[in-house]
């Protein structure tokens, strides 16, 4: 895999981004009688269509809310492009003032990761750009974040393209980060999920083990890669001090605008069939 496409570290989105305070204390999910818990699941089909709104969100949108959207950027529930029925759509443009990200969130009840340490994200995504010849960066992220104070990355992946290469040539590339054991998160040289087709639905299944502090596997469109050699990422809580988050409290969906390499574009990411589970 050409690592030049793993340019967009998750920290670009998650560091420096202050999470909104939780509106309530998270409820811990735990049941010693179950081997697996579905923390959150949606195909967006029953949600009311329309723009996502600031916290606490619009009625009928299952508590999804807009954390940040600067016009012309926006998030919405829509049916024009969906794997089936409806999907969450996030739009951005190189014309967004200040190049602010489009961020949509949903708070979740925090599962007991000491009892259920295996975390799984499964989601379908569809990436679109207005100009496949443009060389500017395409970047989107789906992340589970939380405490002990807001901002820790629990499990996340990025979708990347461009960065000096025409987007049509680069394709869409999944990115993951691993803690180097000393002072930073670094990209994992992935073999699967690279040079994926634009304007096509893809399914990703990402699994990690909180207790073992390791990824487990990445599955993209049926192709599986063992990631058990890689440590999970850390957050720098103070200068030189890196810690692992312990609470999974919210889902973040993000797309970021860019106008590097003398290129501009309008970019879209669509999310569908999202499921978050924890198990023993």
Rg, the chain, Cα only:
18
Looking at residue 20, its pLDDT comes to 37
Residue 145, in any domain of the structure: no
CATH classification at residue 263: 2.60.120
Q: How many domains does the chain have?
A: 1
Residue 142, in any domain of the structure: no
Residue 141, in any domain of the structure: no
**From CA 91, how far away is CA 131, in angstroms rounded?**
14
How confident is residue 10, by pLDDT bands cut at 50, 70 and 90? very low
Residue 70, in any domain of the structure: yes
How confident is residue 151, by pLDDT bands cut at 50, 70 and 90? confident
Residue 150, in any domain of the structure: no
SS (H, E, C) the chain: CCHHHHCCCCHHHHCCCCCCCCCCCCCCECCCCCCEEEEEEECCCCCCCEECCCCCCCCCCCCCEEEECCCCCEEEEECCCCCCCCEEEEEEECCCHHHCCEEEEEECCCECCCCCCEEEEEEEEEEEECCCCCCCCEEEEEEEEECCCCCEEEEEEEEEECCCCCHHHHCEEEECEEECCCCCEEECCCCCCCCECCCCCEEEEEEEECCCCEEEEEEECCEEEECCCCECCCEEEECCEEECCCCCCEEEEEEECCCCCCCCCEEEEEEEEEEEEEEC
How confident is residue 146, by pLDDT bands cut at 50, 70 and 90? very high
pTM listed for this prediction: 0.90
Chain segment 246-259, per-residue pLDDT in tens: 999 999 999 999 99
**Beta carbons within 8 Å of 82's beta carbon, 6+ residues apart:** 44, 270, 272
Residue 139, in any domain of the structure: no
Domain range holding 46?
Answer: 3-19+29-130+157-221+232-279
Among residues 172, 235, 137, 177, the alpha carbon closest in space to that of 9 is found at 177
Chain segment 158-211, per-residue pLDDT in tens: 999 999 999 999 999 999 999 998 888 999 999 999 999 999 999 999 999 999
Residue 201, in any domain of the structure: yes
**Beta carbons within 8 Å of 249's beta carbon, 6+ residues apart:** 22, 26, 107, 108, 110, 145, 146, 147, 150
Residue 86, in any domain of the structure: yes
């Amino acid at each position: 895999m050409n690592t030049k496409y793993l340019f967009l570290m998750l920290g670009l989105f998650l560091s420096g981004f202050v999470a909104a305070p939780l509106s309530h204390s998270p409820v811990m999910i735990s049941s010693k009688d179950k081997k697996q818990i579905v923390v959150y699941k949606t195909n967006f089909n029953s949600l009311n269509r329309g723009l996502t709104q600031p916290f606490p969100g619009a009625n009928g949108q299952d508590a999804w809310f807009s954390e940040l959207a600067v016009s012309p950027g926006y998030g919405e529930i829509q049916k024009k492009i969906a794997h089936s029925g409806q999907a969450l759509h996030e739009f951005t443009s190189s014309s967004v003032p200040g190049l602010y990200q489009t961020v949509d969130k949903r708070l979740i009840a925090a599962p007991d990761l000491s009892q259920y340490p295996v975390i799984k994200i499964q989601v379908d995504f569809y990436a679109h750009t207005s100009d496949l010849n443009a060389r500017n960066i395409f970047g989107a992220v789906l992340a589970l974040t939380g405490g002990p104070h807001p901002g820790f990355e629990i499990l996340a992946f990025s979708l990347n393209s461009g960065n000096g290469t025409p987007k049509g040539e680069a394709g869409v590339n999944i990115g993951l980060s691993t803690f180097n054991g000393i002072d930073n998160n670094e990209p994992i040289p992935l073999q699967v999920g690279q040079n994926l087709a634009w304007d096509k639905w893809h399914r990703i299944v990402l699994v990690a083990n909180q207790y073992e502090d390791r990824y487990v596997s990445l599955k993209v469109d049926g192709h599986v890669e063992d990631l058990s050699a890689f440590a999970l990422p850390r957050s720098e809580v103070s200068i030189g001090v890196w810690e692992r988050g312990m609470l999974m409290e919210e889902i973040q969906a993000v797309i970021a605008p860019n106008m590097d390499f003398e290129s501009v574009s309008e970019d879209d990411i669509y999310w569908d069939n999202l499921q978050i589970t924890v198990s023993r």
